[in-house]
Amino acid sequence: MAKMTMGLFSGSLDRLTAAGVVLGGAAADDMDVDLFVLLQGARAFKKEIAEDPDQLRLSENDHLREEFLESLDRLNVSPWLEFFRQAKELTNVTVHICGLAGKIWGGEKLEDFVDIADDICGIGEYLTSAEEADIHLFI
């Protein structure tokens, strides 16, 4: 079974959606996935942020935010977090929150983050996972 490691540093709606789509593809291929949520990504995974997408922007083109959201709605595309939840139901996906990133955004405990987060870890675990992975993505 192939293994993918993803470093998700972005907390923007477009990149979270893209990461969710890639994660769904990996799940459909029955890959093991280690997802490491870093920096701005950790902010997006905080409960109060994930539950209120109005707090998330698009990466470089925030002026296109409404068009992006309307297109997702018109195309019946699930919100980004649903992609992550569905992938966890299909295959072995482990969601790691970077300890430093969590602290930057006021997340000290696992309970501060959405229910799909499995643990809080250090950067060494991410580097080891990336080194051992068949596929390594950084979004």
At residue 62, does pLDDT exceed 90?
A: no
Domain housing 120: 3-21+33-53+78-138
At residue 53, does pLDDT exceed 90?
A: no
pLDDT attached to residue 122: 96
pLDDT attached to residue 117: 98
pLDDT, tens only, 93-129: 999 999 999 999 999 999 999 999 999 999 999 999 9
Task: Tell me if 27 is assigned to some domain.
Answer: no
Q: How many domains does the chain have?
A: 1
Beta strands in 45-121 (DSSP E): 93-98, 119-121
Q: What is the mean pLDDT of residues 68-79?
A: 90
Q: Using pLDDT thresholds of 50, 70 and 90, give the confidence band for residue 58.
A: confident
At residue 60, does pLDDT exceed 80?
A: no
Distance CA 128, CA 124 (A): 6
CATH number at residue 46: 3.40.1260.10
Task: Tell me if 67 is assigned to some domain.
Answer: no
Q: Using pLDDT thresholds of 50, 70 and 90, give the confidence band for residue 28.
A: very high
Task: Tell me if 7 is assigned to some domain.
Answer: yes
Distance CA 133, CA 81 (A): 24
Task: Tell me if 28 is assigned to some domain.
Answer: no
Task: Tell me if 60 is assigned to some domain.
Answer: no
Task: Return the exposure string of 59-68: e unless at least 16 CB atoms fall within 10 Å of the residue's CB, then b.
Answer: eeeeeebeee
Task: Tell me if 41 is assigned to some domain.
Answer: yes
Distance CA 64, CA 112 (A): 30
